[in-house]
Structures are given as C-alpha cells and as structure tokens.
Chain A
Amino acid sequence: MRDTSSSKFAAAAGLGITLGAAFLIMLLMILIMSETPGKTIYFFFAGPWANTYYLGNMLNAAVPLMLTGLGISFAFRASMFNLGGEGQVYIGGLAAASLALALPGLPGILGIPLALAAAVGAGAVIAGLSGLFKYKWRTDELISTFLISNALIYIVDNIITGVLQDPESNLLVTRKIAVQYWFTRIMRPSNLDISIFFVILLAVIAYFYLYKTHQGYEMRMCGLDPEFARYGGVNVRTYFLLPLLISGGLHGLAGAVSFMGTQHMLFKGFSGGMGWNGIAVALIARNNPLAVIPAALFFAYIEAGAKSAMINADVTIEIAAVVQAVVFYLITAQALYSWIDRKHRRRSA
C-alpha cells in the first residue's frame, strides 16, 4: 500500500464508507427486528456515553482490544496470520490466574509482574508453536494457529470449571485472586483501571520497534516482499517465528489485563471475541500500532452500544457481530479504494 497523499485520502474515505455501510446495515437490522426501533437506536448510540459507569466500562473493554490489535498488527506486518487469538487470550488469562491463585501471599509489586509474565509466556508459547512449525517445516500457520487455539479453548474450559472452579459459586468461575493483584481503578464506579496507560505506552513502544529499529525494519520488509528481503540478506525464516511469538505474547497479556482489573477471576468463555476483534482492530488501523488505539476504542464502542441496546431494548448483542462482519468484508476491498482514488484524482486534476 503506497502512502501518497492521494491514496491516504482514499484510505480514509474507504474506511469512512466501510464503517458507514456497517452502521447502515445495523440500523436496517434494528428497524426490521426491533419493536421499538427508536429506543433501540438511541440506546445503541447514546448508551455508552450515558454516565461515567458506562463510559469507563467502554474504555476498559477497549484495553484488551488494543493489545490483541497490536498482536495481530505484528503478525500482519510480517505477512503472517494468527487466527488463534481467542485461545491465546484464554490461556494468557489462565496462566495469570493460576499464578495468582497459587501464590496468594506474594506482594503486588512482585506478584503482578510475575502474573503478567506468565500470561505473556503462555500466549507466546502457544502462538510460537505454529511459528516453529512454519519455521521448521513450512506448516501453514493460518490453519495451525486456529486449530491449536480451538483445542486449547476446551482444555482451558475444563481447567476453569474443574481444578480452579470456585467451590462456593454456582457459576462457572474460578476463585478470586488476592487483592494485591488487583489493578487500581481510576474512574469509579466503572471498571476502568490504570492498565490503559501502560497499554497505550506499549503501543508507542511497538510503533518505535516496528518503524525505528533494525529488527522492525527487517520484519516489515519480510512482510512486504520476502524475496527482496532474502536478497537483501535477511534471514526470512526468523520472521516466521518472531512475529508469532510477539503476537501470542500480546494476546496472552490481553487475557491477564482483561480480568485483573475487572472481575478478578476467570469465568468460562471470558475471552470470547477478543481475538477476532483484534483482527478487525488491526485491519482498521492498517497495522499501525498507534492507530490501533482509536480502532480499539471504536470496536469497544460497538460492543458497548450493542450491550446497552440489549439491556435497555429488545435486540440481542450478536448484532455487533454482524456489524463487525460487514467491516471485515469491506475493509480490504481494493476496488473500493482505487475507485475513490480515481474520483479524487479526477477532481483534483
């Protein structure tokens, strides 16, 4: 994708059309399916802004999406696919929770970094496995990441509802982690916690890594043109493994961050959707780590709006999935961008 000013305009306009089409289809669905469409639409759009509670929760939901979006951006930048985000988030959360539950006496200053490291490690190992298969035998990572992740989801389900299950709860949840592991809340009464600042900082670091370091340059080169990179003396196979390790690590971290400030325990299926949404976030952000931040906020907004519409009106939250699907359909449509580009050129010529 060339970055001339004209194609930048096309990119922005294309994004606008994509998101506009997604919202139009959602409005249409609400008009057909809701008995009180006006009320539903109101709660969808205005609900997330209603008060600090809803607003804070929306921001809080964006935090893990920033991490998964970053994770996918790394993979995509190197032209690697990671369709195993769901499982990597899930196992990351499990690793952090297991560590916190096993060491309840640890002071927070030691415990939190350890729990986060466990999450990063678990996610990295799982995604790294697919990277390793690709590195050694060229096993297609698109399918292997997905399959490994799906197998893992059932196994983590079993651990959450088995070994770690809270015996005093009727829900499928683990026991709560000790208080010193909890992230500090910053926008009461909402669940928003300080992790949002660290994650934004991480996005900035990711940007510098990708654009200002030698390794980041090589990774992007392998993504753009592996033959050219090989010719330039880059060990291309390294970049089968490294991007997936980073990608998995960030997904694992998302799993930890998503519960250590919010519920303080895991519940069955807590990672649902974070992996897929991470792909959408990365696509909207065009794999730019800084653009991942607003893209994640946008997705958190759609989810929060759908949730608000479900609670206050009569539609189900899965309308968000339909909106997301429309975004997925159109976001890479080259014909759309070149059409805009042509129109734009003709006008400015």
Chain B
Amino acid sequence: MNSGEFSIPIIHNTVSIMTPFLLAGIGGLMTELAGMLNIALEGLILIGAFFSVVFAAYTGSLMLGILLGILTTMLFAYIFGAVTLYLKANVFITGLAANLLAGGLTTVLSFYLFGTKGVLRFEGLPSLPVLRIPALHGIPVIGDLLFGHNILVYFGWASVLLAWILIYKTPFGFRLRGTGSNPEAIEAAGLKPGNYQMAGILISGLTCGLAGAILTLNLGAYVPNISSGRGWIALVVIYLGGRTPFGILGASFVFGLAESLSNYAQGYLDIPADFILAFPYIITVTAMVIVSIIKYKTQGDSK
C-alpha cells in the first residue's frame, strides 16, 4: 500500500478513516450554520454508500456510480428538507425518520434486488484510482498524509477549502450564516431563510453521498449499516471543530487517529472485536463531555 521506507501505516490509515467524518462534517456544518442540527447525516451516508456501489456495479463505471450515488443522496436529503421546511415538521424527528428510512430502504432494496439482507459483494468492480507520486512518498509523515490515497480522499481535502471560501468569502455564505444567527435580518432583506437551509441540506446530501461512496467503493462491497455511527460522530466533529471548516479538519484527524490506533492495537492486544466497535462511540462522547466542561467553565452559566 505504501512504498516509502519512512512510511507510518497509522498515519496513512488515519487519513482514509477520517475522510468520511470530514466530508459528512463539512456537509453538516452547512446546515448547522443555517441553524439546523442535521441528525440525518447518518442516514445520508448510508444511502450514499448503498447507491454508489450498486450504481457502479450496474453501470460498470466508478464515476457514474459516484455521480448517481450522490444524486440519489441529494434527492433523499431533499425529501428530508422538504418535509422539515415546507411541512414545518420537527427537524430532529424528521432526521430520525431519514435515518430509519435509510436503514429500512437499503435492506428492503438489497433483499428485492439481490435476494439477501447480508453483505453484497461486487466482483470485478474497478478499484478507486490512487494518487501515486513515488518520489514524494518517502518524505516522513507528509508522505503518508498527502500521497498514496484514493482520489476521494482528495475530494475531502478540497471540500475543506471550498467550504471555507463558500462560507466566508461569498454572499451566499454570509446569508447562510445569517440564516442561523439572525433569521429576522435575512427576512428583512427580502430573502427566505428556508432557501438557505435547503441549500445547506442539499450540500450535506452531496458530501454525505461522497462519504458513503468511499466506504463501499474502497471495499467493493456493501455491508449492512456500513455507516455505523459515522454521521453521529460527524455531528460531534462539527461541535469539536468549533463550527469552522479547518476546525472540522483537525477534529476529524483526531477521530481518524484514535480509530486507526485502536485498529492497530487490536492487531497486537487481544481486545474483543465488540470493544473495538464500541470504542469510537466512547471516545466521541468523552470528547464531547470534555469540550462542554471547558465551554461551561470559560463561558459560565450563560448559554
């Protein structure tokens, strides 16, 4: 997987593990800034994971698979957004609905299309192209951080920069943030806050679709419930990242590193698999509580 003699597998793995958190986090940030906690991220990742690999298998093209997978995820996000915004439903309950629907729909479709509710293996699926610059792989740490990853990882990096520009350097970003912090001002300016929230939801559909695509296309298979809590962890990543794109980049690196370390430890210590599965949730909730303590101590009793 890695050519350089200074290669550090843990860092290399960290980068691939963190990318779904990063992408889902960037998407979730868009709705977060527009004043909505988007708990549907989990379901969106699952939809992206399922449909991108299924479409890739049907069309025989990775690019079409990813594209159609993203479009399906955005459609799914649109339904969630439309019910929430136009029918004025509670965003947490519709978020749960999206997660439930994603779990149910992927299983029902898997059974209907492939006759199984288990793992779907797709033989002969091309693997994701990997960026290789052998001369640069040898640089310690940097080599593992930046090179030798599949191309979707670079979409993750790019999303940080694009999100930063979109949020801080465009009128759209200004209004998006205004929707969250001061919706009356947005309305007074003759704009509709709902439009910016919908835009945020659609962007999170796009990035979660990509996040899901990485999970299944890397494997060449679909595993039931493959999102396994990543959408929820992404919510905490947004919070820990201080609701900024680069903060989210840092926070997802920390989560990726922790998971990568625990995978590594599993190889050496005899830790039961169940505990390895529980580990991401435990560190996430621990991190969340620690940050809330710090915030509480520094900001006092005020919200």
B292 touches A138 (CB 8 A): yes
CB distance from A54 to the nearest CB of B (A): 23
Cβ-based interface call for B100 (8 A): yes
CA of A326 to CA of B96, assembled, Å: 11
Cβ-based interface call for A33 (8 A): yes
A293-331 contacts to B (CB < 8 Å): 315-316, 318-322, 324-331
Interface residue range, chain A? 35 or more
**Pick the contact of B274 from A154, A276, A283, A326 — CB < 8 Å?**
A154
> Which residue of chain B has its CB nearest to the CB of A154?
B278
With known contacts A158-B274, A316-B107, A325-B104, A133–B292 Cβ distance under 8 A: yes
With known contacts A81-B92, A139-B289, A147–B86 Cβ distance under 8 A: no
Question: Which chain B positions have C-beta within 8 A of A151?
Answer: 278-279, 281-282, 285
> Which residue of chain A has its CB nearest to the CB of B105?
A322
Question: Which chain A positions have C-beta within 8 A of B96?
Answer: 83, 276, 279, 328
A318 touches B104 (CB 8 A): yes
Interface segment out of the listed A88-96, A174-182, A195-203, A332-340: A332-340
Question: Which chain B positions have C-beta within 8 A of A137?
Answer: 289, 292-293, 295-296
CA of A153 to CA of B105, assembled, Å: 23
A121-148 contacts to B (CB < 8 Å): 133, 136-140, 142-144, 146-148
Cβ-based interface call for A19 (8 A): no
B101 touches A322 (CB 8 A): yes
CB distance from B236 to the nearest CB of A (A): 6
> Which residue of chain B has its CB nearest to the CB of A132?
B289
CA of A115 to CA of B146, assembled, Å: 55
Cβ-based interface call for A291 (8 A): no
List residues of chain B with CB under 8 Å of any chain A CB. Answer: 37, 39, 83, 86-90, 92-94, 96-98, 100-101, 103-105, 107-108, 111-112, 117, 229, 232, 235-236, 239, 272, 274-275, 277-279, 281-282, 284-285, 288-289, 292-293, 295-296, 303
**Pick the contact of B108 from A140, A152, A316, A334 — CB < 8 Å?**
A316
CA of A324 to CA of B83, assembled, Å: 15
13 additional contacts (CB under 8 A) given A321-B107, A335-B88: A139-B288, A140-B288, A142-B92, A150-B278, A151-B279, A157-B274, A158-B272, A162-B272, A329-B94, A329-B97, A332-B90, A333-B83, A334-B88
CA of A144 to CA of B289, assembled, Å: 8
> Which residue of chain A has its CB nearest to the CB of B39?
A142
With known contacts A33-B112, A333-B83, A148–B285 Cβ distance under 8 A: yes
> Which residue of chain A has its CB nearest to the CB of B117?
A316
26 contacting pairs across A/B (C-beta < 8 A): A33-B108, A133-B289, A136-B296, A137-B289, A137-B292, A138-B295, A138-B303, A143-B288, A152-B278, A155-B274, A162-B272, A279-B93, A318-B107, A318-B108, A318-B117, A321-B100, A321-B103, A321-B104, A322-B105, A326-B97, A327-B97, A331-B89, A331-B93, A332-B94, A333-B89, A335-B88
The 5 closest A-B pairs by CB, nearest first: A321-B104, A328-B97, A325-B101, A151-B281, A158-B274
**Pick the contact of A322 from B104, B232, B281, B303 — CB < 8 Å?**
B104
B277 touches A154 (CB 8 A): yes
Cβ-based interface call for A29 (8 A): yes
Question: Which chain A positions have C-beta within 8 A of B292?
Answer: 133, 137-140
Question: Which chain A positions have C-beta within 8 A of B83?
Answer: 329-330, 333
Question: Which chain B positions have C-beta within 8 A of A283?
Answer: 93
CA of A139 to CA of B292, assembled, Å: 6
CB distance from B220 to the nearest CB of A (A): 24
A333 touches B285 (CB 8 A): no
**Pick the contact of A334 from B37, B87, B303 — CB < 8 Å?**
B87
B272 touches A143 (CB 8 A): no
CB distance from B218 to the nearest CB of A (A): 23
Most buried by B among A136, A137, A140: A137
Interface string of A202-238 (1 = CB under 8 A from B): 0000000000000000000000000000000000000
**Pick the contact of B89 from A143, A279, A332 — CB < 8 Å?**
A332
Question: Which chain B positions have C-beta within 8 A of A330?
Answer: 83, 87, 89
CA of A279 to CA of B90, assembled, Å: 13
Question: Which chain A positions have C-beta within 8 A of B90?
Answer: 332
CA of A29 to CA of B279, assembled, Å: 38
